[in-house]
Structure 1
Amino acid sequence: MTAIVQVEGLKKSFGKFVALKDVNFSVNPGEVVGFIGPNGAGKSTTIRTILGIIKKDAGKVTVFGKDAWQESIEIHQQLSYVPGDVALWGNLTGGEIIDLFMKLHGQGDLVKRDQLIKKFELDPRKKAKSYSKGNRQKVGLIAALSVESELYILDEPTSGLDPLMESVFQEEVEKLKHAGKAILLSSHILSEVERLADKVVIIRDGKVVETGTLDEMRHLTRSTVTVSTKDQVASLVEVQGVHDFQQKGQQATFSIDNKHLNGLLAALGQLEVVKFEVVPPTLEDLFIRHYEN
């Protein structure tokens, strides 16, 4: 499969400040890549380099096989982009701005536009200067989703939206994925990334520190276990891979390295189990693992 976006050894400095040290990842057709990291980690700088807004210092950045800086005009004909804080022309209505963006792109679908306006509950007749942050984001999302693109770059796209509108956005991203579109999603809402992303890229201090599917990354962390028995549950503290063991009566709660789950099951086979729950690690767990220090 040929990658839509390919980033290899990307480096970028602003004066003495090194913003990107060594960034590597790809986005394939029909794939949602979650791009996460705290403020200042290099997410927006990476995205702006992919968009051809910033020129890289070193490395390789291609989109549709074309150089992101030298061939940005051709690239933009096939992509849609929504920033985290959409700036609009205050004296134009939301509907006029959506239509303008669609005309600039050239691949607009008026029927889909009207459907999205209804779904996102936007009043397109109001002047943009009267819109809240959430409504400004809706304008950007509707404009981006109403055109036919092969790549969607979404940088904190649901910033300012309420949970109901976030759900509408997630449904639309699922449709794009099933249509074979490539999606790069940068979001601070980890549950959103966890629901949508096929692959997660974690960036820290300008360098990618983890990349892979959620299932692959979950092998690197621990599950949380709650177990109640009629026997001495305290014996489970001796099982290899058990951490943070806490007991209350005949119930114990602890975390365990996933590679040692078979050993835990063998130990439980020797006890009379009343209750047994295993909660897999969340994306928050993986994220905190990289930033807790």
Structure 2
Amino acid sequence: MTPAIQTVDLHKRYGNKTAVHDLTLTVEPGTVFGLIGPNGAGKTTTLRMLLDIIRPTSGTATVLGQPPRTGGPSLRRRIGFVPGELRLEGRVRGRALLRHFAEISGPVAPGVIDGFADRLGVDLNRQVRTLSKGNKQKLGLIQAFMHRPELLVLDEPTSGLDPLVQREFLSMVREARANGQTVLLSSHVLSEIQQTADHVAVLAEGRIVAEGDVASLRLGRIRRIRASVDGVPAAVLEAELRVLGQVRDLIVNGDGIVRIGATVDGDIDPVVKLLASHHVLDLAVEEPDLEESVLRLYGAEANGPMEEVHGA
């Protein structure tokens, strides 16, 4: 079966800055492929090369079996795209704008646009220039999904969306996969990838530093915890936590009410159970930002700090 996307040694330079280093990856048809990494990692540059918005310095790419450079309009109609920086303006109403996009992308089944608008909660009768960033992003999602393209290329698609709409978007991605569509999802939000992707590539400084399924990459192992605990001396609580091998970067302070902060690398259950043996006033468990996860999990600290590449 022909890969939906295939790149071999794809390389892009901006002057003396290299945004993407010899990128080789394969995206199988009917899967959700997550491309993740911190800002400046080269994700957007990679997507733009796949869509022939910019040209690679060297290397090759095929999208739906064709080179992006020669695929032309017929190839583009088979793709739905949400850019990382979506700009929609003008006095045109949302419905008219989507009708215009439909004339470009190809047939849209009756009721599909209104169905997506209802799910995402956007008023198509308002002028685009009056919409918030989040509602403009919803229009961008609708135009990408509405003609049921073979391939969806989504660059930070949940930017500006509230959590409920983000959840609906993830349902749309899962439905697309169930329909046999391929999704290339670029994100710096771990939870989006964990909930949808079949395969993941982690990009750092323009290079793939890890690749595999979500479970094998252990993307969810690192958590930060913050808690307030009453009725136990700070020294006692600190000693109990330090016995747990997965607790690092521990900070414990306070008299009476003890406040703790720590990083948990691995199973969080023993930490939660230990805290629950005391009087917990509040507890927050958070993902670290993706850059920290990449640094910790894949040893990128040995290469020095990540440098954001302008134009990436």
For the aligned pair, the TM-score class normalised by the smaller chain equals: 0.7 to 0.9
Q: CA deviation at 1:210?
A: 1.0
Aligned equivalent of 2:76: 76
Residue segments in structure 1 that go unaligned for 5+ positions in a row: 225-245, 262-274
Aligned equivalent of 2:246: 255
Q: CA deviation at 1:82?
A: 0.6
Which stretch shows the higher mean deviation, 128-137 or 89-98?
A: 89-98
Q: CA deviation at 1:247?
A: 4.4
Aligned equivalent of 1:179: 179
Aligned equivalent of 2:11: 11
Aligned amino acid, residue 246 of structure 2 = S
Taking structure 2 as the reference length, the TM-score comes to: 0.73
Q: CA deviation at 1:252?
A: 4.1
Tell me if the contact between 1:85 and 1:133 (Cα under 8 Å) persists in the aligned partners.
no
Aligned equivalent of 1:287: 294
**What is the CA deviation profile of residues 130-178 of structure 1, one whole-angstrom value per residue up to 9, with x for unaligned ones?**
0110010000111111112100000011100000100110111000011
Aligned equivalent of 1:129: 129
Aligned amino acid, residue 294 of structure 2 = F
Q: CA deviation at 1:72?
A: 3.7
Tell me if the contact between 2:102 and 2:143 (Cα under 8 Å) persists in the aligned partners.
yes
C-alpha distance in 1, partners of 2:183/2:132? Answer: 26
Question: Does the residue aligned with 1:66 lie in a helix, a strand or coil?
Answer: coil
Q: CA deviation at 1:42?
A: 0.8
Tell me if the contact between 2:78 and 2:149 (Cα under 8 Å) persists in the aligned partners.
yes
C-alpha distance in 1, partners of 2:33/2:288? Answer: 17
Question: Does the residue aligned with 1:98 lie in a helix, a strand or coil?
Answer: helix
Distance 1:135 1:122, change over 3 A: same
Written as runs of structure 1 = structure 2, the 5 A alignment for 1:32-181 is: 32-181=32-181
Written as runs of structure 1 = structure 2, the 5 A alignment for 1:240-279 is: 247-248=239-240, 252-255=243-246
Question: Does the residue aligned with 2:193 lie in a helix, a strand or coil?
Answer: helix
C-alpha distance in 2, partners of 1:158/1:65? Answer: 28
Aligned equivalent of 2:229: none
Tell me if the contact between 1:7 and 1:24 (Cα under 8 Å) persists in the aligned partners.
yes
C-alpha distance in 2, partners of 1:176/1:115? Answer: 15
Q: CA deviation at 1:282?
A: 9.4
Q: CA deviation at 1:55?
A: 1.1
**What is the CA deviation profile of residues 48-93 of structure 1, one whole-angstrom value per residue up to 9, with x for unaligned ones?**
0000111112111001111111224332021100112321241111
Percent identity between matched residues is 35
**What is the CA deviation profile of residues 202-234 of structure 1, one whole-angstrom value per residue up to 9, with x for unaligned ones?**
11111111111112223x99689xxxxxxxxxx
C-alpha distance in 2, partners of 1:17/1:52? Answer: 20
Distance 1:25 1:136, change over 3 A: same
Residue segments in structure 2 that go unaligned for 5+ positions in a row: 224-237, 248-265, 267-272, 275-286, 306-312
Which stretch shows the higher mean deviation, 43-52 or 27-36?
A: 27-36
Aligned equivalent of 2:26: 26
- What is the RMSD of the two structures over their aligned residues, measured on CA atoms? 2.7
C-alpha distance in 2, partners of 1:72/1:201? Answer: 28
